[in-house]
Structure formats: C-alpha cells, structure tokens
C-alpha cells in the first residue's frame, strides 16, 4: 500500500536507507498500530489526531495537532504544539527538544521511537524483531515470550529432576494511581518497575509483563523457599523506592504470589494457577506481602 500525502498509522512505505531517520510506534492503545512508522524525509511533519496530520494517531488522549518533528541541521527536533497532555521525551515533558537516536517520544498513550543512523531500514527491522519479543511499554518480555520459556523450563525440570519456581507480582491499588495521578503516571510506574527489578534477575531467569500491571518471574533451579526469599527482596525494593512523576512521589507496593513445580504438573498451567492463587491470597491478606 503506497504512502499517501496525509495518512493514518497504517500503510507506510518501507523506510529507505540513509540518515533521514524515522519514527516507529512501539506502544499504542490499538495494538494494530505497533510497528507502523513514518519516514522523516520532509523538513517538517505534524503528529496528532487530526486527519490533516502527517501521522494520524487514533488515541483519545492525543491532541488534534499534538507535536511537530522538524530537521534541525544535525538531526531532528520535537516541538510540542500546545497539546493538552504534553509531549514527553523519555519521562521529561518538553516544549522543544533535539532528538537522539533511540529516544522514546510519548504523545498521550502513544509511544514512538526515534531511529536515525546510516541504515534506517536495518534499524527498523531490528526494532520489529524486538517488538515481536518484548512488551512495548516496559521493554521486558511479553506474555507470549514468557509462556514459551515456561514450557521449555517445565520440560527441562521434569527431564533432569531440577527445581523450578514462578513468582507473579501485581501493583497494589494500581487503579487508584491512575485515578489520582493520571494514566501517564501509571505508565511511568509500569516502565520504572522493571528497571528496579531487573538488576536482581540473573541471566538464566526471565522477567516478563503478563498482564496490565502484572509481572512474572521465571526462576529455573530455584526452590520454593528460595523463590519466596527472592520475592520478599523484590517486594522490599519496590516499597522503598521513590517513584517520581512530574515532581510528585507516588507510593507503590506490590503483592507477590510464589509457587514451585510439582512432580505431577504436566505443564506450566498448574504452576501458574498456584502462583496466581497465592497472589490473590496476598491481596486478601492486606497487600504488600508475599504468599507462598
């Protein structure tokens, strides 16, 4: 499908090689938007919800003419056009800002990645491969990747008689965070939470986003007791961390359910079900705790 003069998020031509750069959608309310891109061949492009924009973003929290990206001699600059919800580069609200390769741009609930370099097409296809394996908001593995890894580890544990544990953690009162601080603040918490937990996770372990505000940890060769101790360390780190958004501190805690593989578990479904049941037990017991 050829690129039109003014087009919606689908239907762009292949990005061309060279250093012109492009924007790639990596998070949006409508998953069909993921991976769509806008080559930045023109001196200026307009982003927003209005049909006349160069890149039309169909999201209620995006303004009709939200932002512009223009060439600045060295690369590109993002400029907010007086939008209601602001334009962000990373977690910083900006009025104008020069873009660096790899920068994440947030316009409402839509997140775009700025690609620039000698071979934009190669970067674009590399980004598509990453999107296929990772959750676009948090940058960690998504549910499908987690389920594939779980199936492999269950088979390996049964074959070798080794331990395997799973921990599922859920942000407490997440709806209240969104209601009080806004959905952009909720997204900020969801992005920062994996950054906090990931340094604790070993190379052979896996951290994934498996639901709206649910993360899961796959822990090969870890017993139930050790998994519970690890989960308690994670819980404490989250409780003690200062989640800051636009100068406000958001109090965040998590409830965690932990379970271990049993000899008669034929697959990972029963293991996940037990971890999930213990997560809800932690919720019933008052939240901000580990149940195992």
Q: In terms of Cα–Cα distance, which of 62, 43, 143 is closest to 106? A: 62
| Residue 213: active-site member | yes
Q: Which of 127, 153, 192, 213 is catalytic?
A: 213
Neighbours of 92 (CB within 10 A): 10
Which residue, chain included where needed, has tokens 């998504």? Answer: 142
Element (H, E) at 207: strand 206-209
Those residues with Cβ within 8 angstroms of residue 126's Cβ, 6 or more apart along the chain or in another chain: none
**Cα 139 to Cα 150: distance, rounded to the nearest angstrom:** 19
Q: In terms of Cα–Cα distance, which of 276, 64, 289 is closest to 167? A: 276
At 283, list the tokens: 């919720």
Question: Taking the CA atoms of the chain, what radius of gyration do you get in angstroms?
Answer: 21
Give me the active site residues, please.
213
């Amino acid at each position: 499908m050829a690129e039109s003069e003014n087009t919606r998020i689908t239907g762009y031509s292949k990005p061309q090689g060279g250093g012109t750069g492009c924007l790639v959608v990596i998070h949006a309310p409508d998953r069909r938007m993921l991976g769509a891109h806008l080559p930045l061949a023109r001196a200026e492009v307009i982003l927003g919800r209005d049909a006349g924009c160069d890149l039309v973003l169909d999201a209620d929290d995006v303004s009709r003419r939200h932002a512009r990206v223009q060439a600045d001699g060295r690369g590109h600059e993002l400029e907010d056009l007086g939008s209601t919800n602001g334009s962000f580069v990373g977690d910083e609200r900006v009025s104008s800002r020069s873009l660096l390769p790899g920068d994440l741009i947030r316009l409402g609930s839509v997140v775009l990645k700025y690609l620039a370099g000698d071979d934009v097409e190669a970067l674009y296809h590399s980004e598509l491969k990453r999107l296929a394996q990772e959750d676009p908001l948090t940058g960690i593995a998504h549910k499908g990747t987690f389920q594939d890894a779980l199936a492999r580890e269950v088979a390996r544990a049964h074959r070798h008689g080794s331990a395997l544990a799973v921990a599922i953690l859920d942000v407490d009162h997440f709806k209240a965070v969104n209601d009080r601080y806004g959905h952009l603040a909720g997204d900020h918490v969801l992005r920062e939470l994996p950054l906090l937990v990931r340094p604790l996770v070993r190379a052979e372990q896996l951290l994934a986003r498996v639901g709206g505000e649910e993360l899961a940890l796959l822990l090969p060769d870890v017993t139930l007791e050790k998994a519970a101790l690890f989960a308690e360390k994670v819980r404490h780190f989250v409780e003690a961390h200062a989640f800051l958004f636009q100068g406000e501190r958001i109090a965040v805690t998590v409830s965690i359910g932990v379970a271990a593989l049993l000899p008669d578990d034929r697959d990972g479904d029963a293991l996940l079900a037990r971890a999930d049941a213990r997560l809800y037990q932690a919720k019933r017991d008052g939240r901000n705790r580990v149940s195992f």
